[in-house]
Amino acid sequence: MAKISLLIIALSLSTLLRAQPLLTKDQQKVQHTVINFFETLANRDSVNLRNYCANDVLLFEYGQVWNLDTLIRKAIRQNTATDFKRVNTIDFLTSSVDKKIAWATYNLHSDIMREGKQVTIHWMETVILVKERKRWKIKVLHSTLIKRN
């Protein structure tokens, strides 16, 4: 009987050790902002994209510095393929909040279909967000290309 009790305790503790910490409401909102940002890119929706970005957002992409207009031009306006489809998968590694500033790091996998060709791209990214009028907005996004196939 003692062995069974010990086994039950050991199994219970092992599941607790692997449990993910619960996210605060602000951490959840930060992650939703990032998810919604990429969803608007997938939908080629430049109007709503602005809702998730600070006015002076900077994106560090492929060794270049982009502002919001650059992102809209390269990711939405120049992307006119009728068969375009983008599906994003985001795996958050960290997300932290300190009053009116937050940051998150994640792996972004995007499956992109365009002109009959599909490509899968994996980036590791870090974003810094600021709270403006009770909403989280992306202020800085730094992207590192991991793999493209």
- Round to whole Å and give the CA distance between 58 and 67: 5
> What does pLDDT average to over the chain?
90
pLDDT at 80: 86
pLDDT at 4: 60
What the chain holds in terms of domains, given with CATH numbers, is 23-82+95-104+126-148 (3.10.450.50)
pLDDT at 54: 97
- Round to whole Å and give the CA distance between 83 and 44: 12
Q: Note the pTM of the prediction, 2 decimals.
A: 0.84
Strand 135-148 with 53-61, pairing: parallel
String of DSSP letters for 54-66: EEEEEEEETTEEE
Question: pLDDT tens, 14-73?
Answer: 544 445 569 999 999 999 999 999 999 999 999 999 999 999 999 999 899 999 999 999
pLDDT at 1: 60
CB atoms within 10 A of CB 43: 13
